[in-house]
Structure 1
Amino acid sequence: MSLYKAETRRLVKRRFTKLFTIGALLILAAVAVGVFLTNEKVGPSQIAEATAHAQADYKQAVERTEQEKTTCESVQGTARAADYPPNCEFALPAESDFNPEWYMPPTFDLKENFGDMVTTMAAVLALVAFVIGASYVGAEWSSGGMMNLLLWRPRRLQVLSTKLSALLVGMTALTIVVAAAWTAIFYGIAKTRGVTTGMTSGVWQSTALMELRALVLVLVAGALGFGLASLGRHTAMALGVAIGVIVVFQFGVGAVLSIANVKFPELYLAPFWIVAWMTKKYTSEDYNSCNFDVTGGCQPETLTITWQMAGSALAIVVVLVVGAAMWTMRKRDIT
């Protein structure tokens, strides 16, 4: 049996891989069920009901305003007159202030809402890839399996790169299958509990590209987990770094930057770069440098993180971590 087949079999057969993947799929299933149950199809009856509610609220607002005006007129010349506007001038509510669309039940719009669902899928699968990648190689180091394998195949870089390839191919297959099922599920939800209008060929192409970026994010997470665990020769190394980055660095640095009023603090926080990668851009606004226009509105300075910038950052991080893992594999003592 080839080394690649052996590593693929080892990855797939691991109990941790199976259980963690099943757990992630259950989480995604719960999200889909929640979206299905909290949305409904909007038809003529829902539109009529929303219109009736809007009209009823409009009439009640008019009645309350007229009552307030009557009360105001009756207390003129008393101490209570100060509680009301001069001359009892009340502006009657406008019917346009009660839009029937605001009274509609929630409905799933595939064009508008599916992007958020793709991001949710990417986040869950990226977590799966990171933890499985870290556990996959970390367990080999901590159990002595790596040393035994190198006795049989004493080519260090080939062994480590083959393990990484098996992980990335496996996560690619899982992500493609889940993404296809995810798309089909939410198309069905939109058909039965929402709308699919506006899904042109261009929109579908944009959706496919977003799912491709989700795949890249999953592979990056898997490679980072694998590389960190290989550097530390233990699964805890990768998990510790992840916890440190999220808890200490992200929250700590975020709080310090906020207190110091640093311009565009999002530039120093990883989640916003990931959002930029998934949604193609993220625009940060600095309200401390508002330029007030002729209408008196605030025009803050902005800085946009594009998906190209975010992709370059992800590539640099992966190259550094995986490159360091390969270098230490080649230079460090195995025992």
Structure 2
Amino acid sequence: MSLYRTELRRLAKRRFTRWMTVLGLLVLAAVVVGVFFSNHKIDAAAVASAERKAEQEYQQQVRYTEQERTACEQAKAGGTAEPGRFPEDCSVISPPPREAIEARWFLPPTFDFRKQFDSTLTVFAAILALVGFVVGASFIGAEWNTGGMMNLLLWRPKRLAVLATKLAALLTGVLTVALPTALLWLGGFWLIGTYRGSTKKMTSGAWQSFGLTGLRGIVLVLVMAAAGFALASLGRHTAMALGGSIALVVVGQFGLGILLKMAGVRFVQAWLLPTYLTAWMEQKVTLENWNACNFSYGGECKPDTLDITWQHSSVLMAVGVTVILVAAFWAMRRRDIS
């Protein structure tokens, strides 16, 4: 009997895996439904309504400025003007030009597929990465906690091969769920763009960009699943991975951020993990340091900037997951199984 196929069946039959996957898919479905009902198709009626609202807003501004100018003139004439409330010349109180109030401000939200779909892939990857991390930690953690790992090693004593097979089965299962879900995500937002927005101006370059972003999202999901698996294997319990992740967020992120700010470190976000995860999905994150000004010829203050790119994130993720996996396999080889 193939150990790989056995582990795949074990992964698929675990109730926690099923329920966690269903929960993640329901959250993704809720996001799609929410975006669908919160956006609208912009037609001639919507444009006409926006124009009317823009005109109403302009007339309201005209009435308001007329009232203020009249109040200014009366206060100046009666000598009761409050210091600083009105200008010296009441005639400068005038309404904004009509073109300053644009009709597009009053249009209902609409989903532009070309401009907005890329950002939805970050949401997709974040939700599936969380599911993958928890499922990966539970998959191996439950084996240690229930004694299943010890029983398995009685008839398959090759420790490293067993652990590697379990990891391969986990990643295969996660990928099997993530790929079709990504296609459904794409189809759902294409329908939203068709019926609640626009799908115009889609070029081959735009599709290629979406494809690369989606690929990075899938890689992030697999990395997080492997990280959860490795941490739980190190601690021989699911709680090791979950507790470690909570400690990383609370101590390693909030605590470190506060400490770095108190120390006056520039670009504090460059030391925090979420910055690199965001850069991985969005290709680049530009950090700004407003405590330092680079004055332009016009006297404008321009902050120092630091670019964090997806290449930086890829190095960090590769090193991080490699170190954790190597530690997990080393512990599997060196420690007693009991």
In which range does the TM-score fall when normalised by the shorter chain? over 0.9
Contact 1:72 1:81 in 2 (8 A): no
1:330 corresponds to 2:333: yes
Three-state SS of the structure 1 residue aligned to 2:76 is: coil
Q: Aligned residue for 2:324?
A: 321
Counterpart in the other structure of 2:274: 271
- CA deviations over 1:236-286 (Å, ceiling 9, x no partner): 000010000011211111222233332011111111100000011111111
CA-to-aligned-CA distance 1:69-98 (integer Å, 9 cap, x gap): 122122224122643110212243122321
Q: SS in structure 1 opposite 2:289?
A: strand
Amino acid at match of 1:157: L
Code of the aligned partner of 1:114: F
Q: Percent identity?
A: 50
- Partner SS state of residue 297, structure 2: coil
Q: In structure 2, what is the equivalent of residue 188 of structure 1? A: 191
The change in CA–CA distance for 1:81 and 1:254 in structure 2 (over 3 A counts) is: closer
**Equivalent residue letter for 2:89:** N
**AA at the equivalent of 2:67:** Q
- Map 1:285-324 to 2 at 5 A: 285-324=288-327
Counterpart of 1:86, as a letter, is E
Instruction: Write the mapping of 1:128-143 to structure 2, written as runs, cut at 5 A.
Output: 128-143=131-146
- 1:68 aligned partner: 68
- The aligned counterpart of 2:52 is 52
How far, CA to CA, are the matches of 1:72 and 1:265 in structure 2? 49
CA distance in structure 1 between the aligned counterparts of 2:82 and 2:133, rounded to whole angstroms: 67
CA–CA distance in 1 between the matches of 2:214 and 2:141?
29
Contact (CA 8 Å) 1:289, 1:300: kept in 2 or not?
A: yes
Q: Which residue of 1 aligns with 2:215?
A: 212
> Whole-Å Cα distance in 2 between the matches of residues 266 and 241 of structure 1?
21
Distance, in Å, in 1 between the alignment partners of 2:332 and 2:136 is 16
Show the counterpart of 2:104.
101
> How many angstroms apart in 1 are the aligned matches of 2:298 and 2:71?
37
1:164 partnered with 2:167? yes
Long gaps (5+) in structure 1: none
Q: C-alpha displacement at 1:66, in angstroms?
A: 2.0
- Residue 259 of structure 2 is aligned with which of 256, 261, 264? 256
Amino acid at match of 2:87: P
Moved more, 286-295 or 234-243: 286-295
Segments of 5+ residues of structure 2 without an aligned counterpart are none
What's the counterpart of residue 81 of structure 2?
Answer: 80
Q: Distance in 2 between matches of 1:273 and 1:67?
A: 53
Is the 2:66–2:94 Cα contact (8 Å) retained in structure 1? no
1:203 is matched with 206
**What's the offset of the Cα at 1:68?**
1.4
Aligned residue pair count: 335
| Aligned mates of 2:70, 2:145 — CA distance in 1 | 82
Q: Which residue number in structure 1 is paired with residue 248 of structure 2?
A: 245
Aligned to 1:146: 149
SS for the counterpart of 1:75 is helix
1:110 maps to: 113
1:52: how far off? 1.2
- What is the DSSP-based 3-state SS (H/G/I as helix, E as strand, rest coil) of the residue aligned with 1:300? strand
- Secondary structure of 1:303 counterpart: strand
- Distance apart, 1:290 and its partner CA: 1.4
Contact 2:62/2:94 (8 A) holds in 1: no
TM-score normalised to structure 2 length = 0.97
Of residues 317-326 and 85-94 in structure 1, the stretch that sits farther from structure 2 once superposed is 85-94
TM-score, normalised to structure 1, is: 0.97
- Determine helix, strand or coil for the equivalent of 1:304: strand
| 321-330 vs 55-64, which moves further | 55-64
Aligned partners of 2:96, 2:259: CA distance in 1, in Å? 45
Which residue does 1:176 correspond to in 2?
Answer: 179
Q: Secondary structure at the match of 1:93?
A: coil
**Counterpart of 2:89 in 1: which secondary structure?**
helix
* CA distance in structure 1 between the partners assigned to 2:73 and 2:283 by the alignment: 58
CA distance in 2, matches of 1:81, 1:173: 71
